[in-house]
Amino acid sequence: MEQFRDTGEDRIMSKYGNKKVQIDRYVFDSQLEGRRYRELALLERAGEIKNLRLQVPFLLQESFKKNGKTYRKIEYIADFVYEEKGQTIVEDTKGMKTDVFKLKQKLFEYKYPNLTIKEIKD
């Protein structure tokens, strides 16, 4: 999660037309993600969930070399991960599903069979 840059503006435009928003000490990629953070933070304070984490990376494929070329690792970065009733919940806020997300979701489902990405939509 990037730190908020004090530009005098509370919102910054992103690649997909989302408006970045600052809440607490975090900058979120969309208003939807920011709203969901507020909800989860309240649930954590109320004891409904625990161990709320933001921007958690999951390794989908290791980096490797082939024919002298180095290929970077592939990661899926979840917006939120937390514990609820003894289960690990992985969440992603989505205004639109990109082709990259669809591919990473398939790789995630294969590599982490005990976890599922819960999509939070606008």
Domains of the chain, start order = 11-121 (3.40.1350.10)
Beta sheet of 87-94, edge-to-edge order: 50-61, 74-84, 87-94, 117-121
The reported pTM is: 0.80
User: What is the predicted pLDDT for the residue at 15?
Assistant: 55
In 3D space, the residue among 15, 48, 19 whose CA is nearest the CA of residue 35 turns out to be 19
8 or 91, higher pLDDT = 91
- pLDDT greater than 60 at residue 104: yes
Scanning the chain, the segments in alpha helix (DSSP H) are: 31-45, 99-111
